[in-house]
Structure 1
């Protein structure tokens, strides 16, 4: 598959922007830029060479993300490090994270994601990005037809001890009432169990962009399905636990199983079509979370990439 060569994120440097190679220079450029228009047209933007540091990040972030959101109902392990700023993931370095649009399994998702490289990996660690329309069009027609009815996602969130995330970490609250209010607003169904909380959501497999109207692949079937896992512990877990006991699982909306070969096709074609963004310290990557999916390549050494999101 070579179609991905026709698209890549737009790289913006001090030279191309005509400004000083500093965070202040980038702030000045952003104030003059029609960011919404450019991001929709380009789908993803890389800001490189501006020397942004953690202590100079906030003014840049305030312009790139007009209203920062909390990572509520997220399923990836993260640590909150600032005002709605998080580590991008704490999934073990040796594993690939397959392509996905953030919170595409949920009723609400961020419109934009911003990544900031504080520490670049010794080797590897790129953030692959893929045009989500291209990803959809790369899938076999029968698979697309079978997914047209949508998906059923199930989460088992423990009460403090267990596999996966707790419901308190997931919803950033200790209040069951607040969780129920959130889930009711999201159209989810739920039940409190002896071990914690079970959440079920019915969601479509594709989505149309609110500005361009283009249809894109927009779900996390391959990440929630056992066939999409390359983690040895997760493989063992699926052998000793039933589908209703797993921290997360997915079926077609009617409850019928998704074939393993569908899951591997989705995962592999997304990764094949992706373009790697290789990190240098101080780089920023802004993506339209509907038009662009992202993942992570394995790495060695220390790596610290922060993420924030906005509606």
Structure 2
């Protein structure tokens, strides 16, 4: 098994696998594998490169890699649904970095696997950085690790159709309040409908988790992405002038409600990125990751990059 300090994703190519350099060749190879789940748990991330997969062939490959494809319900990132529980990757301005995170680590139930597909490679940049969660946790100062032992409290303010951030309709993929409440009742969340038609949701979640197969303890929360300090000084200052922190589309505190220091947030963000390994994209590539064992992000890019994502439990 690769050590945490020199970890890199495991690459699978037609030459290495003996499979044909086609989507069907990849599908046949996957069907012939004895233990894909075990390989993913050991290697944490798998890159499938050189098989020339097209969007029209993607579903068949995904069926092998994601046994139970999930909808992006309660997801906080802006995305567009483009197929059977297939979405665009986060639609965030291309000149900015997306910091490291584990998908939906703020939620009661999160996907165990993510699959990325490069439909169109960028002109420059646009890599997907991956960080080993054990290494990210170890990179943080003891003071920070200790402070987060009690977990974190996430707050979402989801407007009813017009406002800053995502609406509750987009977030839960429904127009029915009863469906939203039924979903939230199962998640240990606390919520309230506001008089303006918006929805406020509070959730207390752990800051670290242990992987059910490997037993590894990993950093597993999105405190740095939900905290204004994670956006940079100027953006945080601008947001503070618009509205109080508790009214922002998303915010975070320690589980007991006390504020998380800004320097903790920037340390988490920066050390995650500093310890990441970049996966550069070529059109037709796929990347399968264990969502607990590694965090992911996005580097800035130029050109018309298009990467799709799907997930499973």
Matched, 1:260 2:268: no
**Structure-1 residue corresponding to 2:168:** 167
Task: Measure, in 2, the Cα distance between the counterparts of 1:180 and 1:135.
Answer: 35
Matched, 1:286 2:296: no
Shift of 1:239: 2.6
Shift of 1:231: 8.9
Deviations 1:182-211 (A, max 9, x none): 111001000001230000000010000011
Asked whether the equivalents of residues 4 and 273 of structure 1 are also in contact (C-alpha less than 8 Å), the reply is no
**Structure-2 residue corresponding to 1:83:** 84
Residues 26-105 of structure 1: matches in 2 within 5 Å? 26-33=26-33, 34-105=35-106
Change in 2 beyond 3 A, CA 1:123/1:230 = farther
**Structure-2 residue corresponding to 1:222:** 224
Task: Measure, in 2, the Cα distance between the counterparts of 1:271 and 1:215.
Answer: 19
Task: Measure, in 2, the Cα distance between the counterparts of 1:271 and 1:43.
Answer: 17
Matched, 1:118 2:124: no
Structure 2 residue runs without a partner (length 5+): none
Task: Measure, in 1, the Cα distance between the counterparts of 2:248 and 2:169.
Answer: 18
Normalising by the residue count of structure 2, what TM-score does the alignment of the two structures yield?
0.97
**Structure-2 residue corresponding to 1:8:** 8
RMSD of aligned Cα (Å): 1.2
Asked whether the equivalents of residues 4 and 134 of structure 2 are also in contact (C-alpha less than 8 Å), the reply is no
Deviations 1:169-193 (A, max 9, x none): 0000001001001111001000001
Task: Measure, in 1, the Cα distance between the counterparts of 2:239 and 2:233.
Answer: 10
Asked whether the equivalents of residues 70 and 310 of structure 2 are also in contact (C-alpha less than 8 Å), the reply is yes
Deviations 1:67-94 (A, max 9, x none): 1000000000000000000001101111
Asked whether the equivalents of residues 224 and 230 of structure 2 are also in contact (C-alpha less than 8 Å), the reply is yes
Normalising by the residue count of structure 1, what TM-score does the alignment of the two structures yield?
0.97
Shift of 1:5: 5.6
Q: Which structure 1 residue ranges, 4+ long, deviate > 6 Å from structure 2?
A: none
Task: Measure, in 2, the Cα distance between the counterparts of 1:191 and 1:92.
Answer: 32
Change in 2 beyond 3 A, CA 1:231/1:159 = farther
Asked whether the equivalents of residues 229 and 236 of structure 2 are also in contact (C-alpha less than 8 Å), the reply is no
Task: Measure, in 2, the Cα distance between the counterparts of 1:279 and 1:120.
Answer: 6
Matched, 1:186 2:187: yes
Deviations 1:266-301 (A, max 9, x none): 000000000000000000000000001000001111
Task: Measure, in 1, the Cα distance between the counterparts of 2:258 and 2:232.
Answer: 23
Task: Measure, in 2, the Cα distance between the counterparts of 1:191 and 1:181.
Answer: 13
SS in structure 2 of the partner of residue 28 of structure 1: helix
SS in structure 1 of the partner of residue 259 of structure 2: coil
**Structure-2 residue corresponding to 1:23:** 23
**Structure-2 residue corresponding to 1:295:** 297
Change in 2 beyond 3 A, CA 1:212/1:5 = closer
Structure 1 residue runs without a partner (length 5+): none
